[in-house]
């Protein structure tokens, strides 16, 4: 008996599990790239090869550039606060003893709830006249924005919901990373005269950096694919202010049946993701120290 697998074993253990992956991932990926080079509209039986036209059109299309812009803003403004808050909460929670688990439970709860259902709830919380958010802001005499119906605030409302849902997830990852840091390192730094700020900056942050990188990638991929909350809270509006690349893809493909242009958008999202993946490999070389 040796570890070298024979054909029958490979068939059972490798080929069969790969069938769904090939049918629903690899083949569709290839077809998508092909479709993005055509002008298919889903209804007509025929279509033509149009080369890079779809891509060139996109680059000259204001809606696309706006969506790219929105995607960038949405990604940065969800990923960074999620990581920073998740880290801060984890550090604070790490000091507690008996109550830690309970509080972690509260903070993580949003992650398990369905985005669709909770977005419906949030859409009412953001309601300018009867929603609790503006009522509370009003109590303190703060400005009461129109949130979802104002193109300057709508994206921030979507961002708030996204961060709210993801921060507990990041917190749990960081909590886990923190418990794995040997306690002696902080004592050693203490003995050497490092203050709290120095210990956080010079020991804690570098030591959780592999986890930060991991979360950064996962959260960025999630942000690039955000759909549910946008679809319910704003449907890309008002006046396109929350239309991200993915939402644009959805509109082009499943509302306007402009399959060629729509798939071109996803191929671009794919390229952005692949670029990020590549970047993360390079960064992880720099960060991994043990």
Taking CB under 8 A as the criterion, the residue among 45, 114, 141, 143 binding other proteins is 114
Tell me if 154 contacts other proteins by CB under 8 A: no
**Which segment (50-58, 71-79, 150-158, 197-205) binds other proteins by CB under 8 A?**
197-205
Taking CB under 8 A as the criterion, the residue among 51, 117, 152, 239 binding other proteins is 117
- Rounded to the nearest angstrom, the gap between the alpha carbon of residue 42 and the centroid of all alpha carbons in its chain is 29
Tell me if 11 contacts other proteins by CB under 8 A: no
Taking CB under 8 A as the criterion, the residue among 16, 65, 80, 142 binding other proteins is 16
Minimum gap (Å) between residue 77 Cβ and other proteins: 19
Under 8 Å between Cβ of 229 and 164: no
Tell me if 192 contacts other proteins by CB under 8 A: yes
Which stretches of 36-144 are DSSP H helices? 53-59, 62-93, 100-112, 115-125, 132-139
DSSP state string for 179-193: HTS-HHHHHHHHHTT
User: Scanning the structure block, which residue is given the tokens 């953001």?
Assistant: 126
Phi, psi (5° rounding) for residue 264? -60, -40
Tokens of 38: 């055509």
Taking CB under 8 A as the criterion, the residue among 56, 65, 76, 196 binding other proteins is 196
Quick one: 210 or 238, whose CB is closer to other proteins?
210
- Which residues from 232-271 bind other proteins, rule CB under 8 A? 232, 246, 249-250, 253-254, 259, 262-263, 266-267, 269-270
Distance CA 211, CA 170 (A): 9
Phi, psi (5° rounding) for residue 194? -75, 135
**Which segment (47-55, 62-70, 73-81, 92-100) binds other proteins by CB under 8 A?**
92-100
């Amino acid at each position: 008996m040796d570890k070298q697998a024979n054909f029958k074993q490979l068939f059972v253990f490798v080929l069969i599990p790969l069938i769904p992956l090939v049918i629903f991932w690899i083949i569709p990926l290839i077809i998508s790239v092909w479709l993005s080079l055509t002008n298919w509209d889903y209804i007509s039986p025929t279509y033509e090869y149009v080369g890079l036209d779809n891509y060139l059109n996109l680059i000259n299309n204001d809606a696309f550039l706006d969506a790219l812009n929105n995607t960038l803003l949405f990604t940065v403004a969800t990923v960074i606060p999620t990581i920073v808050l998740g880290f801060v909460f984890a550090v604070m929670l790490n000091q507690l003893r008996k109550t830690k688990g309970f509080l972690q439970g509260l903070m993580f709860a949003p992650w398990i709830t369905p985005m669709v259902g909770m977005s419906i709830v949030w859409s009412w919380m953001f309601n300018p006249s009867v929603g609790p958010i503006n009522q509370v802001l009003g109590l303190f005499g703060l400005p009461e924005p129109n949130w979802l119906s104002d193109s300057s605030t709508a994206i921030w409302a979507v961002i708030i919901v996204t961060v709210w849902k993801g921060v507990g997830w990041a917190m749990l990852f960081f909590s886990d990373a923190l418990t794995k840091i040997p306690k002696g390192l902080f004592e050693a730094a203490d003995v050497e005269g490092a203050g709290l700020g120095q210990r956080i900056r010079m020991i804690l942050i570098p030591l959780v950096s592999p986890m930060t990188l991991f979360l950064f990638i996962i959260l960025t991929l999630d942000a690039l694919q955000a759909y549910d909350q946008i679809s319910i809270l704003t449907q890309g509006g008002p006046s396109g202010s929350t239309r991200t690349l993915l939402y644009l893809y959805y509109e082009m493909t499943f509302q306007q049946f402009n399959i060629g242009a729509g798939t071109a958008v996803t191929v671009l999202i794919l390229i952005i993701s692949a670029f990020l993946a590549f970047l993360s490999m390079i960064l992880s070389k720099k960060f991994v120290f043990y």
